[in-house]
Amino acid sequence: MQAQNTFNRKDIHTPVQFIKGVGPKKAELLAKLDIHCVKDLLYYLPRRYEDRSVFTPIRQMRVGQYYTVNAKVLSTGIYSTKKGIPVLQLRLGDGTGSFYCVWFNMVFLAKNFKAGQDIIVYGRLDLFDKLQMSHPDYEILKDGEDPVSMGKIVPVYSLTEDVTQKYLRGLVSRALEGYAGELQDVLPDDIRKSHDLADIRFAINNIHFPDTMEDLDKSYRRIVFEEFLMLQIALARKKAAFHAHTKGLKHDIKEGALEEFLKLLSFKLTSAQERVMNEIARDMAGSKAMNRLLQGDVGSGKTVVSMYALYLTVKNGYQGVIMAPTEILARQHYVAISGIFMPLGINVRLLISGLEDTVKSQIKAEVKNGDVDIICGTHALIQEDVNFNNLGLAVIDEQHKFGVNQRSAMKSKGPNAHMLAMTATPIPRTLALTIYGDMDLSVIDELPQGRKPVTTFFIEENKREQVYKFIDEEIKKGRQVFMVYPRITTDDESEVKSAESMYGRIQEHVFPQYKVGLIHGKMAAEQKSEIMSKFKTRKYDILVSTVVIEVGLDIPNASLMVIENAERFGLAQLHQLRGRIGRGGHDSYCILIGDHEGENAERRFSKMLETQDGFEIAEEDLQLRGPGEFLGKKQHGLPEIRFGNILKDFEIMENSRKAAFEIVSKDPGLTNPDYCGLKKNMQRRFEGG
């Protein structure tokens, strides 16, 4: 008891174990739900609600529907089924009729009931040998007590072992009664008024036990707005700090620079590519460092856009760097960039882990001396012993493959250099505003001419022989084939196919007449590069692979991709894999083999079959997987969204973003006394204070 007295009863940071009905053991269970103190409990929001606000007379109930009934216990009893299962049975009546409530294997509840009690029950009415509700929620009415779980809109929470809905509702109800009045509203009055937002005390009370659905909506909007506002203020401050402390290397962009660059190319750019190139050129001509994210669907031509940016920085006397997540992709960039720039006398080098130490040392010395203009590479570029002479631009390709620390390490190589991050994973605007709100955004929303759509099929396992026949036909046309598997290896009992086991079967039994290669992520980088080189030069007809081939590879002669156990892949990943084909002007096909049972699998396959639009697919993937899987700390350094849904609540997100950037533009340090609560919350949530 002494420990309890060290906490004021009204302190919302009081450990939850000191609330009546908890104690140390229950506190351990609540900790599994991330409920450690009273505030955690108050902000433990329901996952859904059941409207039990309307009582239905028994005679009006219909079989198959859910009802809330206020009745009397007419009788209680215990009996056994034919299989010996004990059943607790109540007969309830309200003057208009009667029905039964039954609980199987729960006769210990019998001590709670006696004839004559007033009771409220909620459940589904079914008809067996009699009208009954099985395992209904119930609440025994006591004089002067307001029911927590009946006669109102009732919260339904996510639970853990030995924590019931009834227990948690009662606990939340007591916490609201004792502590909700002590909550401090961190939102300034002007923001609440301009956005018509409820007071936090009203919001917390009504998010748990709303009187009406309208009150619930008001409360939800208030709590979600605050969370989004905190996130957007963090992003706005990050963006403001970047521009305030990073002067940038102002580039002289001569008139006609783009036209001059276009003469180096053997193909025509899309209008979207030219638009983005102009956006980048404007950034690089400014006095503040560029911090831009370039989004583009698979095959939209992001690399050539980055080459223009590299061209501009070299023309201005600076060095440029492009960092890729794999050695295969880094080599591919090196070949493409060298082919265009080396005839101009621009020195392009490749730095990857797979090179000999003496070669790496020589390249690092050349980079430090300024003898290298553009360097392509992998994580090797951010090692401590890599020093640039005059870095003007850093390009990070497939930037989502790098963590926050790796991107920061690249930034440290040229503190004032312009930054261009690229991703071929289309990110819905809703998500981009959440993760990358501190960056300027460019989107290539148009594919180059000549890119044919990839015809996609879903085939069930029992039609595998038809797939093999189709593979044979494509190879006889002179084409090549990817066969993709979700795992490298698997045990004998697993139904999931693996690349290694299927490689042997395909080479020896299915297509012994063709040359088959194998590639997967556990191979050494040099081995992977060698295998991809052989596939590109047609020394393999079929390449058996894992998802290692999903990023950036360009094999124009590959016209067919077969993805096995397709239900094991995410929607965005399926789209990325499909993007490896359809690059050579040939009719191309993607065949998904798998099990389409289950709602999500069916939705994934349907979306893949009906559209080639990566942004549309990404939006669907976000809805299927939920924001949580997109918003991990690893990639962007921000906490996950706890309350809002960035799809459903996009309008709230937009409004909070506007408010956040207005606040930060006026007061970046949040020094205004009106922002005191906001600042404290920001420090607690984002800065570990």
More reliable by pLDDT, 399 or 503: 503
Region 208-222 average pLDDT: 93
Q: How confident is the model at residue 393 (pLDDT cuts 50, 70, 90)?
A: very high
60 and 32 both lie in a single domain: no
239 and 273 both lie in a single domain: no
Residue 6 reports pLDDT greater than 50: no
CA dist 295 and 293 (Å) reads: 6
Chain-centre distance for alpha carbon 340: 37
Residue 616 reports pLDDT greater than 90: no
Residue that has been written with the tokens 């019998």 in this structure: 110
Return the pLDDT at 101. 96
- Token output for 489: 């290896």
Return the pLDDT at 636. 46
Helix (H, G, I), strand (E, B) or coil at 350: strand
60 and 133 both lie in a single domain: yes
229 and 377 both lie in a single domain: no
Burial 476-503 (b: 16+ CB within 10 A, else e): eeebbbbbbbbbbebeeeeeebbbbbbb
* Long-range contacts, 218-224 (Cβ 8 Å, 24+): 221/197, 221/652, 222/197, 222/198, 223/43, 223/45, 223/643, 224/643, 224/644, 224/649, 224/652
Backbone φ and ψ of 421, nearest 5°: -100, 140
How confident is the model over 325-353, as pLDDT tens digits? 888 889 889 999 999 998 899 999 999 98
CA dist 660 and 674 (Å) reads: 14
Region 393-413 average pLDDT: 85
Residue 611 reports pLDDT greater than 60: yes
Burial 504-542 (b: 16+ CB within 10 A, else e): eebbeebbeebbbbbbbeebebeebbebbeebbeeebbb
How confident is the model over 216-230, as pLDDT tens digits? 999 999 999 999 998
Residue 470 reports pLDDT greater than 90: yes
Helix (H, G, I), strand (E, B) or coil at 651: helix
Region 637-646 average pLDDT: 66
Give the H/E segment covering residue 174: helix 165-179
> Which of 611, 631, 662 finishes a domain?
611
Domain, as residue range, for 236? 200-245+648-686
- Token output for 626: 């939920």
DSSP string, 538-554: TS-SEEEE-GGGSSS--
Sheet holding 588-593, edge to edge: 454-459, 588-593, 558-563, 480-484, 542-545, 516-519
78 and 41 both lie in a single domain: no
Residue 634 reports pLDDT greater than 50: no
Return the pLDDT at 2. 38
Q: How confident is the model at residue 514 (pLDDT cuts 50, 70, 90)?
A: very high
**What letter represents residue 636's amino acid?**
H
Return the pLDDT at 629. 53
481 and 559 both lie in a single domain: yes
Return the pLDDT at 409. 87
Domain count, the chain: 5
CA dist 347 and 574 (Å) reads: 37
CA dist 87 and 133 (Å) reads: 13
44 and 60 both lie in a single domain: no
Return the pLDDT at 491. 66
38 and 116 both lie in a single domain: no
Return the pLDDT at 4. 42
Q: How confident is the model at residue 617 (pLDDT cuts 50, 70, 90)?
A: confident
How confident is the model over 427-453, as pLDDT tens digits? 776 677 666 777 888 888 887 776 778
Chain-centre distance for alpha carbon 512: 42
Residue 387 reports pLDDT greater than 80: yes
Rg (CA), the chain: 31
> Which of 611, 637, 662 finishes a domain?
611
Return the pLDDT at 494. 64
- Does residue 396 lie within any of the structural domains? yes
Task: Specify the DSSP class assigned to residue 191.
Answer: H
CA dist 419 and 417 (Å) reads: 6
CA dist 457 and 611 (Å) reads: 12
Region 98-121 average pLDDT: 93
- Does residue 187 lie within any of the structural domains? no
CA dist 558 and 566 (Å) reads: 19
- Token output for 518: 């194998």
How confident is the model over 67-99, as pLDDT tens digits? 999 999 999 999 999 889 999 999 999 999 999
Provide the whole-model pTM.
0.65
Return the pLDDT at 246. 67
Looking up residue 146, the CATH number of its domain turns out to be 2.40.50.140
Instruction: Say which range, 216-230, 306-320, 468-482, 579-593, has the weakest mean pLDDT.
Output: 579-593
More reliable by pLDDT, 627 or 185: 185
Return the pLDDT at 627. 55
CB 3 within 8 A of CB 24: no
For the chain, the straight-line distance linking the first and the last C-alpha, in angstroms and rounded, comes to: 30
- Does residue 629 lie within any of the structural domains? no
DSSP string, 119-135: EEEEEEEEESSSEEEES
How confident is the model over 543-570, as pLDDT tens digits? 999 988 766 567 889 999 999 998 888 8
CA dist 545 and 488 (Å) reads: 8
Highest mean pLDDT range out of 7-16, 43-52, 142-151?
A: 43-52
Q: How confident is the model at residue 504 (pLDDT cuts 50, 70, 90)?
A: very high
Instruction: Say which range, 280-284, 552-556, 653-657, 671-675, has the weakest mean pLDDT.
Output: 552-556
- Does residue 654 lie within any of the structural domains? yes
Strands 374-377, 66-80: parallel, antiparallel or unpaired by DSSP? Answer: unpaired
Q: How confident is the model at residue 643 (pLDDT cuts 50, 70, 90)?
A: confident
Return the pLDDT at 443. 87
Q: How confident is the model at residue 601 (pLDDT cuts 50, 70, 90)?
A: low
**Residues near 164 by Cβ (< 8 Å), separated by ≥ 6?**
none
How confident is the model over 139-171, as pLDDT tens digits? 888 876 667 667 778 898 988 888 888 889 989
- Does residue 292 lie within any of the structural domains? no
320 and 409 both lie in a single domain: yes
345 and 239 both lie in a single domain: no
Percent of the chain predicted with pLDDT > 90: 48
Looking up residue 374, the CATH number of its domain turns out to be 3.40.50.300
- Does residue 122 lie within any of the structural domains? yes
Beta strand residue intervals within 162-219, DSSP E: none
399 and 331 both lie in a single domain: yes
Region 595-600 average pLDDT: 65
More reliable by pLDDT, 366 or 645: 366
Return the pLDDT at 688. 52
Cα dihedral: 74, 80, 81, 86 (round 10) = 90
- Does residue 182 lie within any of the structural domains? no
- Does residue 572 lie within any of the structural domains? yes
Nearest Cα neighbor of 293 from 396, 390, 368, 380 is 396
Q: How confident is the model at residue 18 (pLDDT cuts 50, 70, 90)?
A: confident
> Which of 404, 423, 442 finishes a domain?
423
Mean pLDDT of all residues belonging to the chain: 86
466 and 585 both lie in a single domain: yes
